[in-house]
């Protein structure tokens, strides 16, 4: 029920791992009047954002933009490349990998889910060795695609996509490589062409700092070839018409015009600053958040430090403390939203997002909300995470940027 006594002032702390807080500059860009999506101005905007998105995906090949959430772009990647009954190999790194698997099964492909046993699977990334073994055993090449999640938003664990590519090459297997970087794009290193990815799936509401409602497929020539013979039903998601009309900057149906303004602004912000600077910023926030969690003495959901996500930190709550009750308390007392534990880890962990319109002080404030909430819930903390993160940011200033 709506609590009418609750009148928070100031900005709400949206510290979930997406949708991320949208910078004012992007909100202002999106507030412009809606234009004719078949008029002369739109084509210029369309061509600009399509070219910008190629830079962000690091690809020379086409990028599809859908007026849909990320789930739509997941479906688009599959229906454009596969036919009914095709086998696909997926890897369970967390809730989103499981959902993509469920979606694939519902589309009528034979989706096989590899994974590490027990609770460990949701604390680790993709095991490229297991993929290699499975592909080597598939001597008849019935597996048509390998699908993996780059930044598992439900756990805060990243996966080494270049290692998956190497595993596929070592196995000499011709399957397509499909990657979900819905929460990784524009906040951690991603290289569509260099890593030999055939379809990359992404969304607007995470590193691109936009509201939800727009999603992407970056393609490879091999994926485009596969789309010519794939027979899963498709119309809205079909690449062929999109590829044709995108050449002029237009779309086969009504694009979300105002999100396009926002996307153009977001690309300017990200590309003007430089992707490497953006990646370093997120890594630094990730280190700051982990300094706090370590000081509290609580375990981080990601068990391998080499795979820590720079975009979010998953915190495991002590036995007996329901993470959702803690989140509720923090929301009600301090007007701060934290990500819930999803699927298998519901109630066992919460997620702190450090992406979008964030800075050191917003992150410190969010961590202070967590610390107060943990103490109010009776958790005996080993130390102050807030002091630890303040010390970390003080000792590690943002490098001064000198632009030539």
**Contacts to ligand PLP by CB under 6 A:** 18, 69-71, 96, 149, 153, 180, 182-183, 203, 212
Q: Judged by CB, which is closer to ligand PLP: 97, or 374? A: 97
Min dist CB 391 to ligand PLP, Å, is 31
> Which of 310, 297, 377, 43 has the alpha carbon at shortest distance from 153?
310
Q: Judged by CB, which is closer to ligand PLP: 115, or 203? A: 203
319-328: long-range contacts (C-beta < 8 A, 24 or more apart)?
Answer: 321/377, 321/378, 321/379, 322/347, 323/347, 323/348, 323/349, 323/350, 324/350, 325/377, 326/350, 326/373, 326/374, 326/377, 327/373
> Which of 269, 187, 176, 201 has the alpha carbon at shortest distance from 64?
201
Q: How far apart are CA 278 and CA 271, in angstroms?
A: 9
Q: Judged by CB, which is closer to ligand PLP: 69, or 384? A: 69
DSSP state of 196: T
Min dist CB 345 to ligand PLP, Å, is 14
For strand 176-180 and strand 63-66, is the pairing parallel, antiparallel, or unpaired? unpaired
Min dist CB 319 to ligand PLP, Å, is 27
Min dist CB 75 to ligand PLP, Å, is 10
Q: How far apart are CA 369 and CA 15, in angstroms?
A: 11
Q: Judged by CB, which is closer to ligand PLP: 183, or 246? A: 183
Min dist CB 382 to ligand PLP, Å, is 30
Min dist CB 108 to ligand PLP, Å, is 20
φ/ψ bin of 294: left (φ > 0), alpha (ψ from -120 to 50), beta (otherwise): alpha
Q: Which residue is nearest to ligand PLP (CB)?
A: 70
Min dist CB 352 to ligand PLP, Å, is 15
Q: Judged by CB, which is closer to ligand PLP: 148, or 175? A: 148
Min dist CB 203 to ligand PLP, Å, is 5
Burial of 161 (0-12, 13-18, 19+ CB in 10 A): buried
- B/e letters for 54-70, b = 16+ CB within 10 Å, e = fewer, are bebbbbebbbbbbbbbb
Q: Judged by CB, which is closer to ligand PLP: 183, or 264? A: 183
Q: Judged by CB, which is closer to ligand PLP: 100, or 261? A: 100
Q: Judged by CB, which is closer to ligand PLP: 82, or 355? A: 355
**3 state SS for 230-299:** CCCCCCCCCHHHHHHHHCCCCCCCCCCHHHHHHHHHHHHHHHHHCHHHHHHHHHHHHHHHHHHHHHHCCC
Min dist CB 78 to ligand PLP, Å, is 13
Q: Judged by CB, which is closer to ligand PLP: 86, or 180? A: 180
């Amino acid at each position: 029920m709506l609590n009418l006594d609750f009148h928070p002032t100031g900005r709400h702390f949206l510290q979930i791992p997406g949708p991320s807080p949208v910078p004012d500059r992007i909100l202002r860009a999106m507030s412009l009047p809606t234009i004719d999506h078949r008029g002369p101005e739109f084509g210029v905007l369309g061509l600009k954002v399509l070219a910008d998105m190629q830079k962000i995906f690091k690809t020379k090949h086409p990028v599809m933009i859908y007026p849909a959430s990320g789930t739509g772009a997941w479906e688009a990647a599959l229906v454009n490349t596969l036919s009914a009954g095709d086998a696909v190999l997926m890897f369970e790194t967390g809730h989103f990998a499981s959902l993509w698997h469920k979606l694939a099964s519902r589309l009528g492909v034979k989706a096989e889910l590899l994974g590490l046993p027990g609770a460990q699977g949701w604390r680790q990334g993709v095991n490229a060795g297991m993929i290699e073994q499975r592909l080597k055993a598939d001597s008849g090449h019935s597996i048509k695609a390998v699908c993996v999640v780059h930044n598992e938003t439900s756990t805060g664990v990243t996966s080494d996509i270049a290692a998956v590519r190497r595993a596929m090459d070592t196995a000499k297997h011709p399957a397509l490589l499909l990657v979900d970087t819905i929460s990784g794009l524009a906040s951690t290193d991603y290289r569509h062409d260099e890593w030999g990815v055939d379809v990359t799936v992404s969304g607007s509401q995470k590193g691109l700092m936009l509201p939800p409602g727009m999603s992407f497929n970056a393609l490879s020539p091999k994926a485009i070839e596969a789309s010519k013979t794939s027979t899963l039903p498709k119309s809205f998601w079909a690449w062929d018409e999109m590829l044709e009309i995108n050449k002029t900057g237009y779309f086969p149906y009504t694009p979300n015009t105002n999100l396009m303004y926002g996307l153009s602004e977001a690309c300017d912000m990200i590309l003007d600053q430089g992707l490497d600077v953006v990646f370093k910023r997120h890594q630094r926030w990730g280190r700051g958040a982990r300094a706090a969690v370590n000081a509290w003495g609580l375990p981080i959901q990601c068990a391998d430090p080499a795979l820590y996500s720079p975009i979010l930190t998953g915190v495991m709550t002590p036995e007996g403390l329901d993470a959702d009750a803690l989140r509720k308390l923090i929301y009600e007392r301090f007007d701060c939203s934290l990500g819930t534990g999803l699927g298998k880890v519901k109630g066992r962990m919460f997620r702190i997002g450090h992406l979008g319109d964030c800075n050191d002080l917003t992150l410190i404030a969010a961590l202070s909300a967590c610390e107060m909430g943990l103490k109010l819930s009776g958790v005996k903390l080993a130390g102050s995470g807030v002091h630890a993160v303040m010390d970390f940011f003080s000792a590690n200033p943002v490098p001064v940027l000198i632009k030539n």
